[in-house]
């Protein structure tokens, strides 16, 4: 079930770690953050990651964003979460006859424990489970993994150039502290604060690469390899693909009428796995 969603994810993560280790000195060219500094940022960020933040419905409720109007990320992401959850439910209940089958699956339990121990450093405060005892728990966990590797990555990655190409909107570094008092900002101070031209060019290239679409991309729900041979799982795949088409049509209809389009969670722009 997860193979298509790890197809590129594991490779790109391994490659990124090698680049950071072997060429860490290049990191500070665009951001001003050294290799050691980046590790500290990642460490602090990991300390804030919780199971609630990774599970979209819980995260939306926790942040009080359930009823904010015109919140397209929430609406499109929830549609994709529900489609993925329905697909996962069909597959899991087909192969696991009940809760005892889940709790007794030693390979599954070892996998979850490995994620808890090495991925989240055994932090019980994260809320990430170290074992799964019920079918419902397994469905939620797998939905979280698939959603994170596909829709969530598309939401935070695909718009980086659109949002950051105008550098003052998201400067990669600042040469001065931001003003602390009103009325003390002026043009020259602002120009002296944002990155200089060469740094800006480096960042723009990076943003273009991160936001680009690869020719060999595999969109969400497209499974060239046949991992399932039984008729029932194949039916679940077709139903999943049908729901994705409905989501695509709804998003494109909304964008056709909208003054400001939000297309980052269109299934036509969402890959199965993290490829860059």
Residue 52's pLDDT band, with cuts at 50, 70 and 90, is very high
Within a domain: 269: no
Which phi-psi region, left, alpha or beta, contains residue 121 (left: φ > 0; alpha: ψ -120 to 50)? left
Q: Is the Cβ–Cβ distance between 159 and 213 less than 8 Å?
A: no
Angle, CA of 112, 19 and 114, to the nearest 5°: 10
What is the share, in percent, of the chain residues with pLDDT greater than 90? 61
Q: Is the Cβ–Cβ distance between 112 and 132 less than 8 Å?
A: yes
pLDDT digits (tens, 9 = 90+) for 68-124: 999 999 999 999 999 999 999 999 999 999 999 999 999 999 999 999 999 999 999
Within a domain: 232: yes
As for how many domains the chain has, the answer is 1
CATH number at residue 13: 1.20.245.10
pLDDT surpasses 50 at 45: yes
Q: Is the Cβ–Cβ distance between 137 and 102 less than 8 Å?
A: yes
Within a domain: 268: no
- Tell me the backbone φ, ψ of residue 75, rounded to 5 degrees: -65, -45
- Tell me the backbone φ, ψ of residue 219, rounded to 5 degrees: -75, 160
The residue range of the domain holding 123 is: 3-257
Within a domain: 271: no
Task: Give me the mean pLDDT over the 252-263 stretch.
Answer: 94
What is the share, in percent, of the chain residues with pLDDT greater than 70? 93
pLDDT surpasses 70 at 226: yes
Structure tokens given for 124 = 């019980």
Task: Give me the mean pLDDT over the 22-27 stretch.
Answer: 49
- Compute the distance between CA of residue 76 and CA of residue 54 in angstroms, rounded to an integer: 16
Considering Cα of 238, then 243, then 249, then 252, what sign does the dihedral take?
A: negative
Within a domain: 113: yes
Q: Is the Cβ–Cβ distance between 220 and 270 less than 8 Å?
A: yes
- Compute the distance between CA of residue 110 and CA of residue 197 in angstroms, rounded to an integer: 50
Q: pLDDT at position 174, please?
A: 85
pLDDT surpasses 70 at 18: no
Within a domain: 267: no
Which residue, among 219, 252, 249, 223, has the nearest Cα to 236 in the 3D structure? 223
Q: Is the Cβ–Cβ distance between 118 and 48 less than 8 Å?
A: no
pLDDT surpasses 60 at 37: yes
pLDDT digits (tens, 9 = 90+) for 147-199: 999 999 999 999 999 988 888 888 888 888 888 888 888 888 888 888 888 88
Q: pLDDT at position 31, please?
A: 62
Within a domain: 109: yes
At residue 122, the 3 state secondary structure works out as coil
Within a domain: 159: yes
């Amino acid at each position: 079930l997860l193979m298509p969603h790890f197809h590129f994810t594991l490779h790109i993560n391994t490659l990124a770690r090698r680049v950071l280790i072997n060429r860490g000195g290049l990191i500070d060219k665009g951001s001003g953050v050294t290799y050691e500094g980046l590790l500290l940022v990642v460490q602090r960020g990991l300390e804030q990651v919780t199971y609630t933040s990774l599970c979209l419905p819980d995260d939306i409720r926790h942040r009080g964003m359930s009823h904010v109007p015109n919140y397209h990320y929430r609406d499109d992401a929830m549609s994709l979460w529900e489609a993925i959850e329905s697909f996962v439910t069909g597959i899991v209940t087909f192969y696991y006859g009940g809760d005892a089958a889940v709790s007794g699956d030693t390979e599954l339990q070892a996998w979850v424990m490995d994620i808890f121990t090495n991925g989240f450093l055994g932090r019980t405060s994260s809320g990430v489970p170290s074992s799964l005892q019920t079918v419902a728990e397994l469905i939620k966990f797998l939905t979280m993994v698939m959603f994170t590797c596909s829709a969530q990555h598309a939401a935070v990655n695909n718009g980086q150039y659109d949002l950051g190409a105008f550098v003052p909107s998201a400067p990669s570094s600042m040469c001065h502290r931001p003003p602390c008092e009103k009325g003390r900002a002026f043009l020259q101070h602002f120009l002296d604060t944002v990155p200089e031209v060469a740094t800006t060019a480096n960042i723009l290239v990076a943003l273009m690469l991160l936001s680009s679409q690869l020719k060999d991309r595999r969109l969400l729900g497209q499974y060239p390899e046949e991992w399932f041979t039984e008729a029932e799982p194949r039916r679940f795949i077709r139903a999943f693909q049908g729901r994705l088409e409905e989501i695509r049509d709804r998003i494109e209809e909304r964008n056709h009428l909208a003054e400001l389009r939000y297309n980052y969670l269109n299934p036509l722009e969402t890959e199965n796995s993290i490829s860059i």
